[in-house]
A and B are shown apart, each in its own frame.
Chain A
Amino acid sequence: MQFFRIGKSNLPEKLTGGTLRPGRNCSGDFAVGGIMKRYRTGLNSFFCLLLAALLVSGCTVRLAPEHEPAIVDGLKTLSVATSTLLGKMKAGTKKADFEKERKSFYDEIVGQANGLLLLIDVRPEPKPAVLRWLGMASADDLTKKSSQDANLWTDIKKLDVPTDDQINWLLEEVARMKNADKNSDLPPEAIRAFSKPILRALKNALTYEMALDR
């Protein structure tokens, strides 16, 4: 039996079926040659199976967390709630209407986003040593040069799952919009500007979570 097609001349006798001699290929002092000939096929099969087992036992590599449909569903629900509020505000807002018309929508978004953060928080995240090593190697040199960029590169080098940060970013932007909405009349351009980072954070989280469905 031959497992890989490799020229015999490149291999030691032990692997190509040559006779093993005591004191050369093994340290024993018994008649290895005869025994090896008799059991060679069996041993080769065993090593082939062992090799196959070793190969397939590590068959799936995980560098990112598992796809969690509940998180994607939560993000979709959050998108609907956010789009509903932004749709209501599209033509501009009056601060006098805030309590009556929009406060409950803001509260709903914040509640859903916080519930989603809990779900994301309990999902296990793989932290393979190779990623940690790669992250450290790439970021440490860069962070020495500029303290302003250090935070960004520190974040990138961690290669953390970005979903929770996107939701936190969304919460920050919603809070900023809520504060402006409560205290002043907002023109349609302001609503368009506020909606950009909010929708971007949602798109980012959805893109990443859907990419995990592999």
Chain B
Amino acid sequence: MMAAINASDLLDNILNTAANTASTGIDSISQFAKDYAEDIAEYAALIAKGAAPGGWIDEEDLPGWTKSLKKMIREFARMVAALIVVEVEKIINAVLDVIKTAVEGVIGKVLPI
């Protein structure tokens, strides 16, 4: 005789797991974003100081520096998108793991997966 799955408990577990995993992911992405934003601000300040009169950046080199700053900003968006994909995957797998555990409870066997 198999045990029954309590749908309400299962749903609670799924929601808790998803919330916990998402919370950890959001923390790490926001820490990354904060660190990145500081780098952008410092880099922009260094370029601005270097490009000021008497600074170490020549006029002909300035486009190269602004291009580099733009690239840094652009990669910020890409990195956040890529990290979100990884976090979404973690949430999906954590939820599937809860379902797997519930199924194992019903059939009374540990699934070799």
Contact = CB atoms under 8 A, between A and B. Distances in A.
Do A and B form a real pair? yes
B5 A156 contact: no
A188 B31 CA distance: 28
Judged by DSSP, the binding face of B is: helix
B111 A64 contact: no
Contacts of A152: 74, 77-78
A80 interface: no
A169 B79 CA distance: 13
Interface string B1-38: 11011110000000000000000000010001001100
Judged by DSSP, the binding face of A is: helix
A131 to B, nearest CB: 7
B107 to A, nearest CB: 6
Contacts of B6: 5
A200 B36 contact: yes
Contact of A196 (B7, B39, B87): B39
Contacts of A203: 35
Interface of A: 1-6, 45, 48-49, 52, 55-56, 58-64, 131, 152, 155-156, 159-162, 165-166, 169, 172-173, 176, 180, 186-187, 189-190, 192-193, 196-197, 200-201, 203-204, 207-208, 211-212, 214
Contacts of B81: 156, 159
B79 A2 contact: no
A162 B82 contact: yes
Contacts of B82: 64, 159-162, 208
Contacts of B106: 3, 48, 52
A161 B85 CA distance: 10
Nearest to A200: B39
B83 A208 contact: yes
Contact of A5 (B5, B57, B75, B83): B5
